[in-house]
A = this chain, B = another copy of it.
């Protein structure tokens, strides 16, 4: 194997591009299924976080999804308008807003679970392969976040 490190980087040889494309592809697979529930993929992620632990604050949700308040705030606004969640200004600290599932939002849990199954199967990978890929990706993300904080 020859490493031609100083050649022009080709699009299809780049791991980063493969990542970008794979991410969009899987979200595209979710789309028609989530459409039927009236959700987008990021909205679905919020619900997943709340099914696991209802009543998170906006900041906690952002930490969970790796998104800042500029993304999460309007996302929650739309989820609230859709009747999936409710926002409550906390009385012990008026800066904090906790997010709670409505009955409709909680009721989607089993349908949501089914959807993740279908997507997993469509990947053409075994459960073990998916776990391995997930762990490799999380390792990759962690390495990048480390580099981010040290070099700046």
Q: Which residues in A have some Cβ–Cβ distance to B below 8 Å? A: 3, 5-11, 13-30, 32, 41, 45, 48-49, 51-52, 64-66, 109, 112-113, 116-117, 119-120, 122-125, 127, 130-131, 133-134, 136-141, 143-148, 152
Contacts and interface: CB of A to CB of B under 8 A. Distances in A.
Contacts of A64: 11
Given A9-B113, A16-B26, A123-B143, 9 more contacts: A8-B48, A11-B64, A16-B116, A19-B22, A19-B137, A22-B140, A25-B141, A28-B144, A123-B144
Contacts of A152: 32
Nearest to A138: B18
What is the interface of chain A mostly: helix, strand, loop, or mixed?
A: helix
